Amino acid sequence: MPVKSHQHPVIIKASQCRKLCSCGGKHPAPGVTLYAAADAAEVLAADYLALHGGRELLLISDPLTHEVAGARVLAALRAQGVVVDHLLLGDEPSATEELAESVRARALGRELIVAVGAGTVNDLAKYAADRNGMLYWTVPTAPSMNGFTSSISAVKVKGVKLTVPAAPPQRIYADPQIICDAPLKLRQAGFCDVLAKVVSDIDWRIDSLLFDGGYCRLPTSLLSGVEESYSGHPEQIGRGEPAAVMGLFHGLLVSGVAMSLAGSSAPASGGEHLVSHFWDMREPLTGRVPELHGLQVGAGIILSTACYARLAELDGRTLAGRGAAAFDATAARIPGIWGDYADEVARQFIGKRDQLLRFDTLLPLHWPELVPLFRQVRSPEYFLDLFRRTGLDFSLASLRLSADEFLLAARNGRAIRTRITVLDLAAHAGVLDTAAEQTLAMLS
Ligand SMILES: [Zn+2]
Ligand SMILES: [Zn+2]
C-alpha cells in the first residue's frame, strides 16, 4: 500500500551526485529519506503499518531519549496495532561490542529496528541492522554528530572504540522542536563535527595531490550548498533558534551522506578526527570517559588549523631528508603510550611509512601547489571563536582533558591510522610540537 500523504525527500539525490562529481567515479547515493515535522512519531507509525503491517519491530531508546521522543513513538506504534519489542537501555549507555551483539541477537526475526536517540543508540541500531541484514529507521533527538547518515558505526571492542562499516538507516523521522530543544552541549558538539569537513577536505586534497589523485569535489560541493544555513550562526544555534538549529541538523545529515559518498579509498575524516579517536582509544588506559565526539573533534580542528597556519609560512625546499627521523621519533613513543595496544598501533603507523619517507621528495616538489591549499584553511582563532559563540565554554577543562593528555594526542595521534593527514605534514616539517603548544595555550 503506497504511503503518499507525506513528503519524505531523499537527503541527497543521485542526480546531484552525478552533477557535482569531479572524479568520474561512481558514488551510489544512499537513499536515506527525511520526514521532519511535529507529527514525526505518528507519521512513522502510519508508514510502518502501511509498509510492514503490524509485524513486530524492535524499538531502542535510553531513559533520556525515551522521555523526549521514544514514549510518543511507542504509543503511536501501539495505537496502530503494531507489535513492539521495546529495549530500554541503561542510563548513559556505551556501545560496547557485547551490548551491540545483544541488540543484534534481540533484533533477529523482527521486521525492523527503530532507534530513538543520537550517538550511542544510533551506533547500536546501525551495527545490529547491518549485521542482520535488516532495515532500520531512526528518530534523532539531538543535532550532535553526523553519524545518523554515515556508513560507519562506532563500537567499543575490548575497551577500544573502533569505527566499523555499517549501512545508514533508510528513513529518518525528526520532530524539529525536539532537535532544537536538545541540550546546548549537544548542539555545540554537532556544530564542531559539521565544521570538521572544511578542514578534513584539505587533508584529503593534499593526500590526493601527493599520492593517489583520488580527490573528488562531490562531498564538499554538497556541503557548501547547505553551509550558509549554520556556519555563520553560532549564537542562534546556542539560543536554539529553529532556522539555525535545523540548518545545523540538515548540515550534519548531508555531511554523513557526503562521507559515505567519498568511499573507502578517501578519507572520511582528517587529522582533526584522529585526536578524538586517540582519546577514545586511550579510555582503557587512562580511565577518562571520552567527551562527546564532536567536542573532541573541535579540539582537533584547532590543532589542524594551527598546523596549516605554520606550514603556510615554510619554505618547501628545506623539507628534504627529514622523513626517516620524523617517523622513528613517533614510532619510538608508541610502546610507552599504548602498552598492550602498542602492536596494533605500530601496525597502523608502519602502514604509511613508505608514504611518509616519500615526503622527502614530494613535499619540496609540490610545495608551490600545497601552499595555496594551506592558505585556504581559516585560522585556529576563527574556529575557536565560532565554537565559543554558541554560548558554552570550549577549553581543555570543558573537555575534561589534562594538558599532558592533550599534548600526547596532538603529537602522536597521527600514528593510529594509516591515512595521511596534516598532522603527518606538520610532524615532517617540525612544526607539530609548536602547533600543539599553541593549541594548548588557546584552550587553557
Ligand atoms: Zn567523484
Ligand atoms: Zn565526526
Q: What domains can you pick out in the chain, each with its CATH number? A: 14-181 (3.40.50.1970), 185-215+266-443 (1.20.1090)
**Mean pLDDT value across residues 335-358:** 95
Measured in angstroms, how far is the CA atom of residue 269 from the centroid of ligand 1?
17
Select from 280, 261, 281, 152 the least CA-distant residue to 217: 261
What is residue 266's predicted lDDT score, i.e. its pLDDT? 57
What is residue 185's predicted lDDT score, i.e. its pLDDT? 97
Hey, what amino acid is at 154?
A
**Mean pLDDT value across residues 88-114:** 95
Count CA within 13 A, CB hemisphere, residue 346: 15
For residue 259, give the ligand nearest its CA. 2
Put residue 387 in one of left, alpha, beta given phi > 0 → left and psi -120 to 50 → alpha. alpha
What is residue 250's predicted lDDT score, i.e. its pLDDT? 96
**Mean pLDDT value across residues 413-423:** 95
Measured in angstroms, how far is the CA atom of residue 267 from the centroid of ligand 1?
13
Whole-model pTM?
0.94
For residue 147, give the ligand nearest its CA. 2
Measured in angstroms, how far is the CA atom of residue 76 from the centroid of ligand 2?
32
**Mean pLDDT value across residues 223-247:** 93
Residue showing cell 519489542: 85
pLDDT band at 303 (very low <50, low <70, confident <90, very high): very high
Residue 263 has pLDDT above 80, yes or no: no
For residue 193, give the ligand nearest its CA. 2
For residue 215, give the ligand nearest its CA. 1
User: Which residues have their alpha-adjacent CB atom under 5 A from ion ligand 1?
Assistant: 21, 23, 25, 216, 218
Residue showing cell 503490524: 54
**Mean pLDDT value across residues 124-131:** 96
Separation of CA 135 from chain center: 22
Residue 265 has pLDDT above 90, yes or no: no
Q: Among 268-282, 292-306, 350-364, 422-436, which stretch is predicted with the lowest mean pLDDT?
A: 268-282
Measured in angstroms, how far is the CA atom of residue 193 from the centroid of ligand 2?
5
For residue 218, give the ligand nearest its CA. 1
Residue 6 has pLDDT above 80, yes or no: no
pLDDT band at 157 (very low <50, low <70, confident <90, very high): confident
Select from 94, 97, 160 the least CA-distant residue to 341: 160
CA distances from 39 to 2, 260, 414 (A): 19, 29, 45
What is residue 307's predicted lDDT score, i.e. its pLDDT? 98
Residue 2 has pLDDT above 50, yes or no: no
For residue 28, give the ligand nearest its CA. 1
pLDDT band at 7 (very low <50, low <70, confident <90, very high): confident
Measured in angstroms, how far is the CA atom of residue 325 from the centroid of ligand 2?
31
pLDDT band at 264 (very low <50, low <70, confident <90, very high): low
Alpha-helix runs per DSSP H in 320-352: 323-338, 342-350
pLDDT band at 1 (very low <50, low <70, confident <90, very high): very low
Measured in angstroms, how far is the CA atom of residue 256 from the centroid of ligand 1?
16
Measured in angstroms, how far is the CA atom of residue 8 from the centroid of ligand 2?
25
pLDDT band at 268 (very low <50, low <70, confident <90, very high): low
What is residue 158's predicted lDDT score, i.e. its pLDDT? 78
Which residues are paired to 113 by β-bridges? 58, 136
User: Which residues have their alpha-adjacent CB atom under 5 A from ion ligand 2?
Assistant: 193
Residue 138 has pLDDT above 70, yes or no: yes
What is residue 271's predicted lDDT score, i.e. its pLDDT? 95
**Mean pLDDT value across residues 124-137:** 96
Residue 30 has pLDDT above 90, yes or no: no
Measured in angstroms, how far is the CA atom of residue 401 from the centroid of ligand 1?
38
Which tens digit of pLDDT belongs to each residue from 55-95?
999 999 999 999 999 999 999 999 999 999 999 999 988 89
For residue 252, give the ligand nearest its CA. 2
Measured in angstroms, how far is the CA atom of residue 25 from the centroid of ligand 1?
5
What is residue 28's predicted lDDT score, i.e. its pLDDT? 83
As a whole number of angstroms, the distance between CA 101 and CA 106 comes to 9
For residue 261, give the ligand nearest its CA. 1
What is residue 267's predicted lDDT score, i.e. its pLDDT? 55
As a whole number of angstroms, the distance between CA 225 and CA 343 comes to 43
